RNA sequence: CGGGGCGUAGCGCAGUCUGGCUAGCGCGCCUGGUUUGGGACCAGGAGGUCGAGAGUUCGAAUCUCUCCGCCCCGACCA
């Protein structure tokens, strides 16, 4: 038997390891259409967990869900100059609406559309057009709407979950009477994203505004949460944009204020996508497959009955069901425990490894010997796969929430320690260059996050581009030590995070 | 879109340079048996238009051309 369930290991070939984990965990696979993916039940179950948690957070802050169309008239996209520039080249365009059977048996597009339709790459334009109709008075504000949808961006280099032509996401779009209120909304959502990443995904993130070059097309300010993957690269895990009045002006989103004067709204937009699943994989998984933090895991505890004879089977299954019922009565992080008994008729070893590869946080084995001793055998996914401890059956259910919480906490701490070990503060251009010169991203101590004073200036990109490094964001919760840009010498208020990114 | 690598059974591969029996191997799958606290063993079996198309040839997985897809690196991005 190989030493690990996943081959190659992270160290041997990180990108290939990622793909193998996705496959071994049965999360998704390639579709016949280039760049698209089939999200399989286990992958989709994780997405549903994410949806449920975020949706509650959005509703709790006054947002409502709605749905806007997939197709956007090309003319809508033309309204905001920078937005056009940013998205035009990656749009999928529908030009026909009918297929006809040709003599050779092929179906050919027939009815040409008057105006081509863009498959939404994001919905600012179509939603803005509706807001322009809906909003008339200050009494109509704020408008706080979210939609769960799919979007299409015709990417050149797709990668399962991380960058696909079609992906699922939520996009929030809000309109406000004042700039301050819109900025507050932008930051409120950023906080929701950061809390979600850290508390549920056990994924430490850095949050902060992006430099102008990294801004969303048409935004005044873009804020992001940035996570570090196990190869030291950064991954943007969520964004929240303060759009100022740019879209409002372009689309005529106006209202009469309390004095009766006409004013443009201040708008925001924000989103997270199925990319978070990729982030989850690359944050916690190991050379045996996926590792899921308990709070996001669709199944937190799997009970594995072990038996040979029909009598043993009956006995063990009864005990399993009883344990399941007791576990269901327990709560962890304000939710009922998610437990499954795996009674499938297959070899025990195969079954165990399947759950290892799928990242189930706790495996509980119950066999005749356990029953006789009044214990269960418990394996934790954050420990080596063969490590097992016997715990008294009686107290186990009551103990389970604490065990899950401990795993959750441990995963967060491990990720935070990893990030800390690969984050360095740098105070000269030479040190920055030295840090990224070698392409040793997988090597310990290389790559990672660099904290440095840099100005929002094209000269910075000139130095970073050859290193394949970008300024990820300017952390908001770090220290506010002012300094001078290590490249241009301009004074800057605090350090930024620089890294190679996905 | 540029550079590199690769497409042979569900997965991983050999065979391709040097064209020639019925296209192989490991894992997986199905059946039967022996097993059973661990990704087992024995026996039997199913499964492939060798990425697609065209060409050269008596004969193509193998040679030529075109196309498609995947992966890595670059430009672009959530």
What is the H or E stretch that residue A189 is in? helix A179-195
Nearest nucleotide to A224 (CA to C1') is B78
Q: Are residues A32 and A145 in the same domain?
A: yes
Q: Are residues A350 and A217 in the same domain?
A: no
Distance CA A268, CA A54 (A): 17
Nearest protein residue to B1's C1' (by CA)?
A: A156
Q: Distance from residue A408 (CA) to nucleotide B59 (C1'), in Å? A: 65
Q: Are residues A353 and A469 in the same domain?
A: no
Q: Are residues A191 and A271 in the same domain?
A: yes
Q: Distance from residue A5 (CA) to nucleotide B60 (C1'), in Å? A: 39
Q: Are residues A385 and A250 in the same domain?
A: no
Nearest nucleotide to A470 (CA to C1') is B77
Indicate if the pLDDT at residue A440 is higher than 50: no
Structural Rg of chain A based on CA atoms: 26
Q: Are residues A331 and A458 in the same domain?
A: no
CA distances from A418 to A202, A278, A412, A423 (A): 13, 18, 10, 9
Neighbours of A476 (CB within 10 A): 16
Question: Bridge partners of A242?
Answer: A221, A268
Distance CA A251, CA A264 (A): 10
Interior angle at CA A240, CA A239 and CA A244, nearest 5: 140
The whole-number pLDDT of residue A443 equals 46
Distance CA A7, CA A338 (A): 30
Distance CA A119, CA A155 (A): 14
Considering the domain boundaries, does residue A311 fall inside one?
Answer: yes
Q: Distance from residue A34 (CA) to nucleotide B65 (C1'), in Å? A: 25
Nearest nucleotide to A353 (CA to C1') is B39
Q: What ipTM, to 2 d.p.?
A: 0.81
How confident is the model over A138-156, as a mean pLDDT?
93
The whole-number pLDDT of residue A111 equals 84
Structural domain of A466: 423-499
Per-residue pLDDT tens digits for A365-400: 999 999 999 999 999 999 998 899 999 999 999 999
Considering the domain boundaries, does residue A488 fall inside one?
Answer: yes
Residue A468's Cβ-count burial label (10 Å; 0-12, 13-18, 19+) is middle
Residue at a domain's end among A257, A284, A311: A284
Whether A269 and A223 have beta carbons less than 8 Å apart is answered as: no
How confident is the model over A210-222, as a mean pLDDT?
93
The whole-number pLDDT of residue A4 equals 80
Nearest nucleotide to A306 (CA to C1') is B37
- Dihedral sign for Cα atoms in the order A468, A169, A132, A185: negative
Considering the domain boundaries, does residue A9 fall inside one?
Answer: no
Indicate if the pLDDT at residue A466 is higher than 60: yes
Q: Are residues A398 and A439 in the same domain?
A: no
Q: Distance from residue A101 (CA) to nucleotide B72 (C1'), in Å? A: 41
Q: Which of A124, A76, A459, A54 is nearest to A269 (CA)?
A: A124
Residue A188 belongs to a domain with what CATH number?
Answer: 3.30.930.10
The whole-number pLDDT of residue A2 equals 57
Distance CA A278, CA A74 (A): 31
Considering the domain boundaries, does residue A412 fall inside one?
Answer: no
More confident residue, A444 or A434: A434
Pairing of strands A143-152, A64-65: parallel
Q: Are residues A73 and A205 in the same domain?
A: yes
Residue at a domain's end among A403, A434, A451: A403
Considering the domain boundaries, does residue A411 fall inside one?
Answer: no
Q: Are residues A40 and A101 in the same domain?
A: yes
Chain B nucleotides with an atom closer than 7 Å to a protein C-beta: 1, 29, 36-40, 68-78
Residue A434 belongs to a domain with what CATH number?
Answer: 3.30.110.30
Nearest protein residue to B77's C1' (by CA)?
A: A155
Q: Are residues A435 and A357 in the same domain?
A: no
Q: Are residues A65 and A187 in the same domain?
A: yes
Considering the domain boundaries, does residue A295 fall inside one?
Answer: no
Nearest nucleotide to A169 (CA to C1') is B78
Q: Distance from residue A49 (CA) to nucleotide B75 (C1'), in Å? A: 36
List of long-range contacts for A152-159, beta carbons under 8 Å, 24+ apart: A152/A91, A152/A92, A152/A119, A152/A120, A152/A121, A153/A87, A153/A90, A153/A91, A153/A121, A154/A35, A154/A90, A154/A91, A154/A92, A155/A35, A155/A90, A158/A34, A158/A35, A158/A36, A158/A37, A159/A15, A159/A18, A159/A278
Q: Distance from residue A155 (CA) to nucleotide B76 (C1'), in Å? A: 8
Q: Residue A69 is encoded by which pair of tokens?
A: 């169309």
Considering the domain boundaries, does residue A158 fall inside one?
Answer: yes
Whether A146 and A172 have beta carbons less than 8 Å apart is answered as: yes
Considering the domain boundaries, does residue A296 fall inside one?
Answer: no
Q: Are residues A19 and A128 in the same domain?
A: yes
Q: Report how many domains make up chain A.
A: 3
How confident is the model over A119-133, as a mean pLDDT?
95
Q: Distance from residue A211 (CA) to nucleotide B55 (C1'), in Å? A: 56
**CB-based contacts of A124: which residues, under 8 Å, 6+ apart?**
A80, A83, A173, A218, A243, A247, A269
Nearest nucleotide to A31 (CA to C1') is B69
Residue at a domain's end among A370, A403, A436: A403
Q: Distance from residue A17 (CA) to nucleotide B24 (C1'), in Å? A: 28
CA distances from A257 to A49, A62, A139, A180, A264 (A): 40, 22, 8, 15, 10
Nearest nucleotide to A305 (CA to C1') is B37
Indicate if the pLDDT at residue A433 is higher than 90: no
Per-residue pLDDT tens digits for A303-357: 999 988 888 888 999 999 999 999 999 999 889 999 999 988 888 788 899 999 9
Indicate if the pLDDT at residue A132 is higher than 70: yes
Q: Distance from residue A15 (CA) to nucleotide B16 (C1'), in Å? A: 29
Residue A306 belongs to a domain with what CATH number?
Answer: 3.40.50.800
């Amino acid at each position: 038997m190989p030493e690990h369930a996943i081959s190659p290991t992270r160290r041997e070939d990180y990108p290939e390891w990622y793909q193998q984990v996705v496959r071994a965990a049965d999360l998704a696979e390639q579709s016949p259409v280039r760049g698209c993916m089939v999200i399989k039940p286990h992958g989709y179950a994780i997405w549903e967990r994410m949806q449920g948690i975020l949706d509650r957070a959005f509703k709790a802050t006054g947002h409502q869900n709605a749905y806007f169309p997939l197709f956007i008239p090309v003319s809508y996209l033309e309204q905001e100059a920078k937005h056009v520039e940013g998205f035009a080249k990656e749009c999928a365009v529908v030009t026909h609406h009918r297929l006809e059977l040709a003599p050779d048996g092929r179906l050919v597009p027939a009815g040409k559309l008057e105006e081509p339709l863009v498959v939404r790459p994001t919905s600012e334009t179509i939603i803005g057009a509706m807001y322009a109709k809906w909003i008339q008075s200050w009494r109509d504000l704020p408008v706080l709407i979210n939609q769960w949808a799919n979007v299409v961006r015709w990417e050149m280099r797709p990668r399962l979950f991380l960058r696909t032509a079609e992906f699922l996401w939520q996009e929030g779009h809000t309109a406000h009477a004042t700039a301050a209120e819109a900025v507050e909304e932008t930051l409120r959502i950023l906080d929701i994203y950061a809390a979600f990443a850290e508390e549920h995904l056990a994924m430490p993130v850095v949050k902060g505004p992006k430099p102008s070059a990294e801004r969303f097309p048409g935004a005044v300010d873009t804020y992001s949460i940035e996570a570090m993957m196990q190869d030291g690269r950064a991954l943007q895990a969520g964004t929240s944009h303060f759009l100022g009045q740019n879209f409002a002006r372009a689309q005529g989103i106006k209202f009469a204020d309390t004095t009766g004067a006409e004013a443009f709204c201040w708008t925001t937009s924000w989103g997270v996508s199925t990319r978070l699943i990729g982030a989850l994989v690359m944050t916690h998984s190991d050379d045996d497959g996926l590792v899921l933090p308990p709070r996001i895991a669709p199944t937190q505890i799997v009970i594995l009955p072990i038996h040979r004879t029909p009598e043993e089977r009956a006995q063990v299954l009864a005990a399993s069901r009883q344990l399941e019922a007791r576990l269901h009565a327990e709560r962890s992080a304000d939710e009922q425990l998610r437990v499954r008994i795996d009674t499938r008729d297959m070899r025990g070893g195969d079954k165990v490894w399947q759950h290892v590869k799928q990242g189930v946080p706790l495996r509980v084995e119950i066999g005749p010997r356990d029953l006789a001793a009044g214990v269960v055998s418990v394996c934790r996914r954050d420990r080596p796969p063969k490590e097992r401890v016997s715990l008294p059956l009686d107290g186990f259910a009551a103990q389970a929430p604490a065990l899950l919480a401990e795993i959750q906490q441990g995963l967060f701490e491990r990720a935070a320690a990893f990030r800390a070990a690969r984050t360095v503060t740098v105070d000269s251009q030479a040190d920055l260059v030295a840090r990224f010169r070698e392409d040793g991203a997988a090597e310990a101590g290389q790559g990672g996050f660099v904290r440095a004073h840099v100005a929002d200036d094209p000269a910075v990109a000139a130095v970073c581009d050859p290193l394949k490094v970008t300024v990820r964001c300017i952390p908001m919760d770090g220290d506010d030590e002012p300094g001078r840009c290590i490249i241009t010498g301009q004074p800057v208020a605090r350090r930024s995070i620089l890294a190679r990114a996905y």
